[in-house]
Each structure stands twice: as C-alpha cells, then as structure tokens.
C-alpha cells in the first residue's frame, strides 16, 4: 500500500512500519510530499520521522489505537460491512438531538449509546448530533481538544464503533451529524508543527496560534481539513457536520475556507447522490454565513442561533448578567425579534462587546430552517460555572413553554440530551489531561474565570476530578413514560412532522406591549403557538384573524372562541392549527433550490 506524508521542510523522511524503518521518496513535483510503498494490513502500526526527529503518528492517520502520542494504525474502511442502506436525510424539516458519547450513558461508548437510539426514534427527532469524537487526551473530555482530525477516539469504540453507531441509527431511520473542530487542535500530543506550517503566528485565537489558512503553505493545510471533513461524510456515512466556532477561522484569502468547504461538500453530495449539509457555530451574526455562494455568501447550509437562545433563556429565567444584559431589558420583545428576524443584534449596540454587532438577515430570500433554535446546548449548559440546566430553577410549565417555542417555531430545532424529560443532571466542564502542567493550567484558568464573577472557589467543580465527569453522566429515568414533559415533547414533535412545511419563512409574532404580562403569540407556517410565561396569572390571548383548531395544550385549555380569544393558565402553552384562509406565512413556494440547500 502507499504511505504518504506532507513534510515540506524535511530533508529526509522515514516510514516506521511494524518495527522496520523504510526511507521515503520526495515527490518529483517538489511540493513537499513524501511517499513509500510497503506491504501492510488492517491494524498495522506505523509512523513517520522527519530528519532525525522522533517517530510521530501520521497527520492523516485514520486510527490511533493507543491514543494521542501513539503510533497510527492502518485502517481498511472496506472491511466494515454496512447492514442498512441509507438514502440520506437533508436538513430542511429535521429536528437535531445533540449528545455527548462519553456521558450519554454510564459506559460512555458508541455501542452503549446505540442501545438508546430507540428512545430517540420514538421521541421523533431526525438527526443525532454527536459532539466531537476525534482523539483527545485521556478517556473522558468534551472532545474540543482533539489532535487527530481524521481519527476516532478509541475509548468510545474507535472507527468501527462509530460505524456501528451510525449503522444502528440508520436502522432506526435516524441521520447522524458530527461536530468537528477546524479552528484549533489540542495542545497535548499535537505533532503537526513537526511536519509543516499547519499553524501561523500571523493570527491568534483563544487557543493560541491560529490554523494556517492563508499564509505560505496554506493550500495543503486547507486541503488537510477539507479532506478530513469529506472523509467523515463519505467513510462513516454521515449526513452533516457541525463546524465549531467558525468565527475563529482566521482567513484573509479571497475565497474563504468555508466557501471552499461548502462547495466541496455539495460536490460530494452529488457524487454520493444523497443530501449532505454543514451547520456553523458563529458569534458574528453575519447573514453571509448561510447565504449561497452564487450570491457571494459562504454557502454554509445553516448556523446556530445563540441570540434566540439568549432571548428565550432571559425571558424564562430573568438572568441579566454578561451577554444576557441587552436581552434582559425587554426579554419578550427580544424573543419576538429573534423569531421574526433571526438575530437580536443585527447592527445594534452590544454592551457585552462594547460596540455595534451583527447585520440583518434578508427575510425575503432566507428560509428560517437555516437557523438552528434551541433552549439548551452543550455550550449554554456546560459553560455555566456549575453546569446547571434550565430544569433546575424552572418549573415544568416554563420548560413546556420553551419546548413549544423551539419545536413549533420557524427554526430547525435542536434538543440537548435529556431535556425532553426535564433532566436535572448537571453537565459540567471535565478533562482528563495526562500532562500535569496542562491539567493544572486548565484547573487554574477555570477558577480564575469564575471567581472573577463572584463564585466561591470551593463551589466550582474540578475539571480533572473524575467525579466531575461522573456527575455529568445522564441519569436516565426508570419509567420515562411517566414523565409528563416527555409526553409533551413527543406530542409537539408529532405536530411539527404533520403540519409544518419544510420551507418555512420566519415567524410573525405578537408580543404584549406590557412586558409584565409575559404573553407571546407566534404564527409559524400554519401553526400558532401561544404562551403565557407568567407564573401567577392566567391570561386572555388574542390569536388574530381566522379560525383555529386546538392541537395541544400544556394545561386544561378550552378552544378559542369565535373572536380568536384563548385563555391560558399560568406558565402554559397551546399549539393551534390556523384555518387555510390565506393568512399566515406558510412555506416557501417557488424556491425549491433554497429549500433543498
């Protein structure tokens, strides 16, 4: 088989293969590639040494059986026999379910997680969204400090385990999305700088030197990350990728890396004849992220909408610190704005940033499924000091209102594991760094961050303490069917599947002018969601013109009268179907290409 490595600065490169050292030949083009041919089989250990340096794993190695720092192993993707053909499942119309393999079950493996897929299929979601699974130090961690973007974390089950999980998901009719990190690599076990200019000091990120996307040698660096993304989509039969913190991709080239990636993914979708998609995490509030390449956008198919989360969270909890401050001034109005226009900060002043922020989305040309809406995510739970979920301070009624707005609203909904039954399991920041100095630096940094905001150091969980991970393992209910909230989630998901068209425009929203009234009416396609967030007072809600059929209500709720008045109990929500009278924003007829993307 052929072994290749890009090492443009090396004068000599050797291949170490199963105890043998073989010289590698430079490519005749002089572009920095080295190659050697040798007999090898699936599982054979190997590595490369540049000049007189140590033997290091293959930067493009598909498997690290001994973890970061150990040798690579040959991986024969063709050796895995897929059991379930998969035609693919696109983004429009789906519901995402974010989970972390290491804490979704006590075992923390792909196979154990696969054993819970029946619950997700019965719940009614469309795609499982896995947090990063590339190799990282130790056994347990969030996965965002991975060091091998082509490989799979062995304690989870390695490449074969991921394939078994995806195959099991397909057997249940579920697609799979993977969270990938292109903006940095973890600091421990990262051997890329020994091979070439993978990083640059021209730009800096919160994690140190930036990935070299625009300096000398960046053609191969871009190809390295593009290749890993396409390999996961192709070799593991994934449906999409969630791109971590794309605002940290420092790229000054005329064609942005994301444009190149989205173009490559669209080409692969045509080649495989199944839909593929990209979802970006970005804090820029830049609508160009999801605008098509033909209109000079980056062409990413969707992006997370933190502004919707912040507005919803503030309206439910009343929190007003940090980035919640601007939303807390008029939380219901902020929530209404995000439902009708995606971004709250669309050029407005952000007190958190001390400047204007964002740009408006074109409602006439953009479909709402390009924005992912959620009440919880790993970030918004795990980056809190104690990793506490909304179910800790909020009542079940308030959680039910949030679910109605997320699941029957205009955006592509996303759930975070366990929220469907109101899990109170904390999800805390945990690491398993093997380098004592790095472990202490992470521990000290976490303490410094939160004690500066008034937390007592004794209250804060130690990221390196195994108990922190153990506390974060999802506690599954013994009898989930008895959870009223779970029944509500299933009901809402069934309503969404039956009544909401795939190509939704943004919602039309009516917010009571009196913020203290805490009433909101959302018209999304043919559905109307009415919520009363007041914990004490019932409310008369005006639904608007047309007839309405009551589909679901969180508490006892009589159907609306002929004048469109609906009575809601405190902290309750109702979902109604509007009569087909030509009112409402409906779908997106005549825009098939936009819906497909």
Question: Minimal CA–CA distance to 56: which of 126, 7, 11?
Answer: 7
Cα-based torsion angle of the residue sequence 313, 314, 317, 322 in order, rounded to the nearest 10 degrees: 100
**Catalytic annotation present for 145:** no
Residue 580: exposure state from Cβ atoms within 10 A (0-12, 13-18, ≥19) = exposed
- For 226, residues 6+ apart whose C-beta sits below 8 A from its C-beta are 260, 261, 264
Residue 387 exposure: Cα atoms within 13 Å on the Cβ side:
22
* DSSP annotation of 579: P
| Residues 412 and 342 sit within 8 Å (Cβ to Cβ) | no
Residue 28: exposure state from Cβ atoms within 10 A (0-12, 13-18, ≥19) = exposed
Instruction: Give ∠ CA 537-539-541 in degrees, rounded to 5.
Output: 160
- For 521, residues 6+ apart whose C-beta sits below 8 A from its C-beta are 509, 510, 528, 529, 530, 531, 541, 542, 543, 544
Cα-based torsion angle of the residue sequence 132, 135, 138, 140 in order, rounded to the nearest 10 degrees: 20
Strand-pairing partners, residue 565, are: 542
**Radius of gyration for the alpha carbons in the chain, expressed in angstroms and rounded:** 25
Which position among 98, 154, 167, 281 bears the catalytic label?
A: 281
- Look up residue 388 and give its two tokens: 């506490």
Residue 364: exposure state from Cβ atoms within 10 A (0-12, 13-18, ≥19) = exposed
Which position among 98, 244, 266, 571 bears the catalytic label?
A: 244
| Residues 198 and 151 sit within 8 Å (Cβ to Cβ) | no
Question: What's the rounded Cα separation, in Å, for the pair 150 and 61?
Answer: 6
Residue 440 Cα distances to 106, 147, 225, 436, angstroms: 26, 20, 30, 6
Buried b (16+ CB within 10 A) or exposed e, 332-363: bbbbbbbbbbbbbbbeeebeeeeeebbeebee
* 371 three-state secondary structure: strand
Question: Minimal CA–CA distance to 44: which of 72, 24, 70?
Answer: 72
Q: In what order do the strands lie in the sheet with 2-6?
A: 2-6, 33-37, 25-26
* DSSP annotation of 81: -
Do the strands 25-26 and 2-6 form a parallel or antiparallel pair, or are they unpaired?
A: unpaired
Question: What's the rounded Cα separation, in Å, for the pair 171 and 175?
Answer: 10
User: Catalytic amino acids?
Assistant: 244, 281
């Amino acid at each position: 088989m052929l072994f290749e490595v890009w090492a443009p600065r090396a004068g000599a490169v050797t291949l170490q293969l199963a105890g043998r050292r073989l010289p590698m030949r430079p490519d005749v083009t002089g572009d920095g590639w080295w190659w050697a041919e040798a007999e090898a089989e699936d599982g054979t250990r190997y590595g490369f040494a540049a000049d007189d340096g140590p033997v290091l794993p293959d930067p493009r190695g598909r498997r690290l059986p001994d973890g970061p720092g150990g040798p690579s192993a040959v991986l024969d993707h063709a050796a895995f026999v897929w059991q379930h053909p998969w035609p693919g499942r696109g983004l429009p119309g789906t519901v995402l379910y974010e989970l972390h393999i290491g804490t979704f079950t006590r075992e923390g493996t792909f196979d154990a997680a696969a054993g819970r897929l029946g619950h997700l299929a019965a719940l009614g979601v469309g795609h499982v969204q896995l947090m990063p699974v590339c190799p990282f130090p130790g056994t347990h961690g969030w996965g965002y400090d991975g060091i091998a973007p082509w490989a799979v974390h062995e304690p989870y089950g390695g490449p074969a385990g991921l394939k078994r999980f995806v195959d099991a998901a397909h057997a249940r009719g579920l697609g799979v999305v993977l969270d990938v990190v292109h903006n940095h690599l973890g600091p421990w076990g990262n051997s890329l700088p020994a091979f070439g200019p993978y990083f640059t000091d021209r730009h800096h990120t919160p994690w140190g030197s930036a990935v070299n996307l625009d300096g000398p040698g960046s053609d191969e660096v871009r190809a390295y990350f593009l290749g890993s993304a396409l390999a996961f989509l192709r070799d593991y039969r994934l449906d999409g990728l969630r791109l971590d913190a794309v605002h940290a991709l420092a790229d000054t080239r005329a064609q942005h890396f994301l444009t190149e990636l989205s173009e490559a993914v669209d080409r692969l979708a045509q080649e495989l004849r199944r839909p593929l998609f990209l979802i970006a995490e970005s804090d820029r509030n830049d609508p160009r992220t999801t605008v098509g390449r033909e209109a000079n956008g980056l062409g990413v198919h969707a992006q997370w909408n933190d502004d919707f989360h912040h507005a919803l969270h503030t309206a439910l909890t009343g929190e007003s610190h940090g980035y919640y401050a601007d939303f807390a001034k008029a939380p219901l109005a902020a929530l209404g704005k995000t439902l009708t226009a995606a971004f709250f900060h669309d050029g407005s002043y952000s007190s958190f940033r001390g400047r204007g922020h964002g740009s408006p989305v074109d409602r006439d040309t953009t479909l709402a499924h390009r924005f992912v809406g959620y009440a919880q995510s790993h970030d918004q739970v795990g980056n809190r000091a104690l990793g506490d979920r909304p179910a800790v301070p909020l009542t079940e009624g308030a959680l039910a209102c949030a679910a109605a707005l997320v699941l029957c609203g205009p955006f592509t909904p996303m759930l975070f594991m366990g929220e469907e039954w109101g899990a109170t399991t904390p999800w805390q920041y945990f690491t398993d760094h093997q380098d004592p100095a790095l472990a202490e630096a992470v521990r000290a940094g976490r303490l410094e961050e939160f004690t500066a905001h008034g937390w007592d150091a004794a209250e804060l969980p130690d990221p390196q303490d195994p108990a922190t991970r153990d506390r974060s393992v999802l506690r599954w209910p013994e009898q989930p069917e008895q959870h009223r909230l779970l029944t509500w989630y299933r009901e809402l998901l069934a309503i969404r599947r039956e009544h909401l068209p795939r190509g939704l425009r943004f919602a039309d929203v009516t917010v009571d002018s009196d913020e203290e009234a805490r009433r909101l009416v959302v018209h999304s396609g043919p559905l109307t969601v009415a919520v009363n967030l007041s914990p004490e007072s019932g409310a008369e809600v005006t639904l608007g013109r047309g007839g309405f059929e009551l589909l679901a209500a969180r508490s006892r709720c009589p159907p609306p009268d002929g004048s469109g008045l609906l009575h809601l109990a405190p902290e309750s929500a109702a979902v109604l179907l509007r009569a087909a009278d030509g009112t409402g924003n409906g779908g997106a007829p005549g825009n098939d290409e936009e819906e497909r993307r």
